Amino acid sequence: MSDKRKAVMAALMLMMLIGQTVAIPLIIPIAVGFAASSVFGYWLGIQDSENYQELIQQYEAQLTSNTVQNDINTRLYLQEIYARDNNIISLGQDLLKYSENYAWALAKYNALKVIDYELTQNGSDFLTAKTKAKQAAHDVVYNYYLNLTRNIITLANESAGLLNYSLNYYLSNVRVSTVEMFVTGSQADGSIIITYSKITYNPNTGSYAVTYSGTTDKQVYANSIILSTATVSALGNSYTYNVVKAQVQNTNSYDPDPYAWVTINKVLIGGDLVYDRSNYTVILSQIDSEYNMINANIDAYIDGLAQDYVANWNVTQLIDPYILAGLLNNDLNQTGYYGYAAAELALLGLNTTGINKTITITVYDGNNTTTLEGWLFTDWTGTLEVGKNYTTDSSYKWFFVADDGIYDLTGYNFTVGTIRDWQDNELTNVTLTRYISHTGDVLKMYDELAQIRQLYEEYINNLQAMAAGGSGGGFSLSEWWASLDQAAKIGVIAIGAVGVYAILGRRR
């Protein structure tokens, strides 16, 4: 695997496995193809622009004068949007486990910087320094989770806008397949509360049926679907996001206000699920829960951190990952992505075969075998030996970063073929190393500092090896992405369709 390929995959690994990165100025969101926004950008905390008009244009470009073809195209298009959202949300559900490590790291390093500045440069007393450090830690954690929240809301807004447009078009011009809209909403008719649960379009009769309870008066669909808004609570605030609503009518002639708007929660066309609003609300709730857990424990953590700082050491001796990232990226063409990989691995808390080592493995999938070269990232601990077969334990995470994708090895057997160090020397074994463990335990701080220094030393070795090999020349993720064919792009986008992962056995 070439140095440039390794650099690219290090960047992709960062985008897939952590929620945000200090590499934002360099590792920009990858612009992907048909009907899909970047899976990566949402969980980097930087995908905050809506592309609703572009989605509409893509949909309109597929419409023809043939209603049967339009039925197929509409269902396929909405399914792609639904799959895109599922990819991102599935990725997010897995990332939340590791985003806790990252959030603690943000709190820790920002608090340390404030404590050091206040005590050594600003003349503050200990209590003032600690108070300001707590506020800095709370702020940086809040802003991180705020970005994640906004990104999911952006995703929900895009999808609701497209659903509103396509449903209106479909029910006005296509009407080939059954459309089932599962809804929530109610209205009062005097002392009676009418509750609505479903609106169904029947293409055989060209009619609509409304499912409801609470009255014997007939309820009908009022032939109107609009884009509206709803609110969701997260991070101690209320946020507005787009939803799609349908209008229903109570046929009781004595009802002075017979119309009501109900919110569409789920849509099936021809039996195919194309929209599910709960995907967005559930992940927003999970983000909120993760934030509240960390935020509630920051003060106690900073109390211990500040006391330990005063009693034992000077933070200026720290090789800070953020500073390290900046130092290591002075020569972007040759070393930039390695620099950020080293810095962010220090924040991630996953065991790895090492940023300065690569391994080759053969993965067995029934009668098929796939050979991969790259890095293994896992929360399993142990030693990998050349020639030995391993069965992955499903109770752990097993990510393998190769030059053509990020793979999940869970449930597969693999054999270690070769292990090479940064000088291309073959090794017989490698022990998985967790550089940093973000447990909130201040007593572990010293070990973490030593491990960050180890990363710096490994980077220096990488730099020397690359210089000796004469590697150089400009390179960017966007150029690499543009060089891929459509099948390869779809393969990368598909990471997440079965949980976050590319499909083993398919070499792109």
**144: pLDDT strictly greater than 90:** no
Does position 265 have pLDDT exceeding 90, yes or no? yes
Is there a contact between 157 and 52 (Cβ–Cβ < 8 Å)? yes
- Give the C-alpha distances (Å, rounded to integers) separating 185 from 198, 247, 268, 328: 10, 10, 19, 56
Strand, coil or helix: what is 273?
strand
CA 149 from centroid of its chain's CA atoms: 11
Q: Is the model more confident about 316 or about 271?
A: 271
User: What does the alpha-carbon distance between residue 253 and residue 258 come to, in Å, rounded to a whole number?
Assistant: 8
Q: For 213-223, what is the mean pLDDT?
A: 95
* Percent of the chain's residues with pLDDT above 90: 34
The tens digit of pLDDT for each residue in 427-455 reads: 999 998 776 665 556 656 656 656 656 65
What are the tens digits of pLDDT across the range 368-415? 898 988 778 787 889 999 999 999 988 887 877 765 556 778 888 999
Q: For CA atoms 318, 320, 321, 327, give the dihedral sign.
A: negative
User: CA dist 226 to 132, 159, 160, 296, Å?
Assistant: 47, 13, 10, 40
pLDDT at 230 over 90: yes
Instruction: Please give the DSSP secondary-structure letter assigned to residue 31.
Output: P
Among 103, 102, 130, smallest CA distance to 116 is for 130
Q: Look at residue 11 and tell me whether its pLDDT is greater than 70.
A: no
What's the CA gap between 185 and 194, in Å, rounded? 9
Q: What is the pLDDT of residue 332?
A: 37
Cα–Cα distances (Å) from 57 to 165, 255, 303, 461, 503, in that order, read 11, 42, 54, 50, 31
* pLDDT of 299 over the 60 cut: yes
Partnered with residue 196 across adjacent β-strands are 185, 212
Residues 6+ apart with CB under 8 A from 222: 246, 247, 248, 249, 259
Long-range contacts of 273-276 (CB under 8 A, 24+ apart): 273/79, 273/82, 274/75, 274/78, 274/79, 274/81, 274/82, 274/163, 275/78, 275/82, 275/159, 275/163, 275/244, 276/82
What are the angstrom distances between the C-alpha of 88 and each of 37, 314, 443? 9, 41, 36
Dist CA 488 CA 476 (whole Å): 17
- Contact at 8 Å (CB) between 333 and 472? yes
Q: Is it the case that residue 24 has pLDDT exceeding 70? A: no
pLDDT at 224: 97
Residue 336 in this model has a pLDDT that exceeds 60: no
Average pLDDT, the chain: 73
Between residues 85 and 26, the one the model is more confident about: 85
The one-letter amino acid at 368: N
Which of the four pLDDT bands, split at 50, 70 and 90, describes residue 51? Answer: low
pLDDT band at 33 (very low <50, low <70, confident <90, very high): very low
Helix 52-62 and helix 67-120, axial crossing angle in degrees, nearest 10: 160
Quick check: 480 pLDDT over 50?
no
Q: What is the pLDDT of residue 450?
A: 64
**pLDDT: is 399 or 304 the higher one?**
304
Q: Which residues contact 96 (CB under 8 A, 6 or more apart)?
A: 19, 286, 287, 290
Highest mean pLDDT among 125-139, 306-320, 460-474: 125-139
Residue 475 has pLDDT above 70, yes or no: no
**35-44, 92-101, 347-356: the lowest-pLDDT one:** 35-44
Q: How far is CA 250 from the centre of its chain?
A: 43
309-327: average pLDDT? 56
Q: If you average pLDDT over residues 64-75, what whole number do you get?
A: 88
| Side chain identity at residue 95, one-letter code | L
Predicted confidence (pLDDT) at residue 190 exceeds the cutoff of 70? yes
- High-pLDDT (> 70) share of the chain, %: 63
CA 465 vs CA 231, 420, 424, 433: distances in Å: 54, 13, 9, 22
Q: Judge contact between 416 and 388, C-beta under 8 A.
A: yes
* pLDDT score of 50: 47
CA angle 72, 75, 76 (to 5 degrees): 80
**Can you give the pLDDT at residue 338?**
45
Sign of the CA dihedral 72, 272, 79, 249?
positive
Residue 470 clears pLDDT 50, i.e. is over it: no
- The partner residues of 451 in beta bridges, in order of sequence, read none
